[in-house]
A and B are shown apart, each in its own frame.
Chain A
Amino acid sequence: MKRILPRIGTGAGLVAVALVFLVPLYWLVRSSLMPNEQIVAWPPKLIPTEFTLENFARALELAPFGQFALNSVIVAGTSTLLNVAIAVCTAYAFAFLDFPFKRALFLFMLGALMVPGHVTLLVNYITISNLGLLNTYAGLILPGVANAMATFLLRQHFLGIAPEVLEAAELDGAGHLRRLWAFVLPMSRPIVITVAVTTLIGEWNGFVWPLIATNTVEMRTMPIGLMYLRSVDGFEEWGPIMAGTLLVALPMLLAFLFAQRHIVAGFAGATTLRR
């Protein structure tokens, strides 16, 4: 008895925490599959009695999600690749190279972590506009490619790699690129995947910058698509909004599920810092 009670307690706690995350997701899926009268019905129907794909059809009618998805894949994909490549190289330099003003530059980079996104919004907009890159893929991607958080996480992890390994590699004649590619990266797989997936999700979900930096329907990304479903001061059609939201969220949900194992390992690794 004494042993079972705490177990039930733990179980109930786990279920409660799981529900906090699952209920909104369930609600999203449920609402996207129900006719509008059922969504707005009071008291709310927990389980739909009538299923329909109408909401998805309507969402696709109101906004070209196919084009938006293509744009999102290009923008988020390229962004993530560049982000990771730049962050890995920068982190390698901060972790293993000696160069003048290293400490100051590192502090400067940490400072970039503290600057909220909206402060740079207008400056970025004017810069991108002066470069003639508004409403282009380059304009969407460039302002986000330098990722201080990713660089910081990677550097901390790299510092944890036993120096003997790299010294041995150097003695065997391996240059920096080789040491990075053949030793550092394989030893840092979980953290690199973590950084890649969190960056991907962040870029995919980006709303404010794509909203400001693009004008035409051909260049909009998935999250902006949701804007096409909302009305200004009319009546909100929740069905298509929920269906659209599901379309936007699903790819990232899947990406997260697939990479989940690595992400857990990555964050666990990042907490055991060593200087």
Chain B
Amino acid sequence: MTTQSAGGFLHSFRPSRRGLLTGAAVAIALPLLASCAPAGGSAQVFGQPAGKLPSQYEGRRRIVFWNPWGGENNERILGYVQEFNDSQDEIYVEAQLQEGYDGTEQKFLAALQAKEVPDVIGLGDMSWPRFYLNDTLEPLGGYFGGDFTEDAIHPVLLEEGKVRGELYWLSYGRSTPLFYYNRDAFSKIGLPDRAPETWDELREWGKEINGFSYNGSPMKVRSYSGSDDWYIQGNIWSFGGAISRDMDITVAEAEAVAALEFDRALIHDDKAAYLSEDFTGDFATGMVATVTTSTGSLTGLTQNAQFEIGTGFLPKGPGGSGVPTGGGGLAIPKNADPENKKAAFEFMKFLSTGSRTIDWTLGTGYMPPTKEAMESPEFQTKLKENPNYGVSIEQLEIAKLPDPARRFVPETIQELRRVIQAVYADNADPATELGKAAATIAAAAESVKPQYDAKVKA
């Protein structure tokens, strides 16, 4: 993979060995996962990851929370955990940071093998469905009650954690991609102060943006991520295609190819965009005028960019709009101790209510998970100050879950990442690459299909 940015050079210092870990653990652990699923009936009770109960919390029930949210967000989570531990005297929560969504997924796979699981775990939107398929997640519906019912959660976000009417994953730290643009550059170039309506309009505008001298250096239109296939999922929809319909792999069909061809042309024909190591960072530095990145970057971008940021819905394509939801949620492993599971849900409730939700939303840009948070005066004030915080919530109405293959067949994500890297970096032919990917994914989907048909398909 070649990269074309100042950030690219920092690559060698990246502490993340995510690729390596993913490859290794997926290859080894997935075939074994099926064997550890409980054979129906009540689940076997597994052990709990080691840690310690500080003396001031002596006598309490200890709960282990595997937290995938690093950096500043970990600081926030630790604050809520402290608040929870001080708010009552029966439960002690110990948050253990894991390496992002992928790293947490791999570690959970290994933990299931070792029969030692946490009591609450933060899982990414594309990780939990496979744990559900293998019967490793606890149904959460029965835990609601009293002043905390399912009605408290935003209906779209609630629905996304459900399979066949039962909740397994409580949305937390959810996001959609947003279209971000550099308002300062747009005004200097003479473009309207809004996101483009369509991808074609973006390409038109791109001709004026490309090469524009911004702060003394020539600007490009966009930077792309080579390690996240979430964005191409949305684009494929907007061109009228899909990655899969149920377990039928449709990613090599003409519409999906057209979506990828659009990016290819913008990068290699127009020379107006490029694959970047830190694509969000490149937008913040003013190297590119627009970027599609997570709502979760909103606060960081707003604080770090030296210009005013505008946001809008993702542009439409010939197939209309295509907005995937993403981000994380909280789940309880089925094999955790039953009493721990109850305590774990108390903690999940604590995170999803009160001042924590508002602080989490404003601190990150993630969507507020509850109606309470969306309607809170703090959030409404922030909206008036900075309307960007409302865009993702409005966009949520047209957003939907990624296609089944991306959620249930792990090879889909690996293949799509390979394809976008080949196309973005090396100008590979989208049709050829997606054809190869479709064959690989279809083969993998075969083995998932029986479980999918039995447990998911409507």
Q: Interface residues, chain A, CB within 8 Å of chain B? A: 24, 27-28, 31, 36-37, 40-44, 61-62, 118-119, 121-122, 125-126, 129-130, 134-136, 207-208, 211-212, 215-218, 223, 226-238, 241-242, 245
Contact = CB atoms under 8 A, between A and B. Distances in A.
Given A36-B304, A233-B297, A238 B50 contact: no
B296 A234 contact: yes
A126 to B, nearest CB: 5
Given A122-B110, A234-B299, A208 B17 contact: yes
Given A122-B25, A223-B15, A234 B113 contact: no
Contacts, number: 167
A41 B97 CA distance: 31
B103 A211 contact: yes
Interface string B36-53: 000000000000011110
Interface of B: 6, 9-10, 12-13, 15-17, 20-21, 23-25, 27-29, 32, 49-52, 64, 68-75, 94, 96-97, 99-101, 103, 106-107, 110, 113-116, 173, 175, 215-217, 278, 280-281, 284-287, 293-294, 296-297, 299-301, 303-304, 306, 326-328, 364-365
25 contacts: A41-B285, A43-B217, A62-B75, A118-B23, A118-B25, A122-B25, A126-B113, A134-B116, A135-B49, A211-B103, A215-B51, A215-B96, A216-B50, A218-B52, A227-B16, A229-B71, A231-B71, A231-B73, A232-B73, A232-B296, A234-B71, A234-B300, A235-B301, A237-B300, A238-B281
B71 A62 contact: yes
B236 to A, nearest CB: 20
Contacts of A134: 49-50, 114, 116
Contacts of B49: 134-135, 215
A33 B216 CA distance: 25
Nearest to B328: A232
Given A229-B15, A230-B16, 12 more contacts: A24-B12, A27-B9, A37-B304, A41-B306, A121-B25, A208-B17, A211-B21, A216-B51, A227-B70, A232-B173, A233-B294, A235-B303
Contacts of A232: 68-71, 73, 100-101, 173, 296, 328
B344 to A, nearest CB: 16
Nearest to B114: A129
A40 B15 contact: no
